Structure 1
């Protein structure tokens, strides 16, 4: 995927405009134990099923890719 910082910002703004809140986080405890630390929470009125949690991603980019895959399974233009 390889988005630039500006592209990530634009994506987050687009999600927000569509009623989708997105929080991506790194879990320090999972990082310390060598587990995949990245997770995301998709929420808001535009989120699938009222909200989705994506966990166990090895990188930020992988996490964002999985979030977009969840959204692509829903109605709307998430390409």
Structure 2
């Protein structure tokens, strides 16, 4: 019985170890270009007045010097504006 159990446990441990060692590519942070693209795509889906659309488009395309945004900032802004996240 022991001769069968030991190799079986070893194979199971190797399989479980191999499954847990691969990094998930979805966990990488978004680049600045990807965040900008997501913001522009979200903006195009909203039904805003032309004035509001242009104001937000300008804020996305021409950020103020020293002003940085993360994906979390984008989600919070979208939630505040009534968008989904």
Smaller-chain TM-score range? Answer: 0.3 to 0.5
Larger Rg: 2
Higher strand share: 1
Higher helix share: 2
**TM-score normalized by the length of structure 1:** 0.35
**TM-score normalized by the length of structure 2:** 0.34
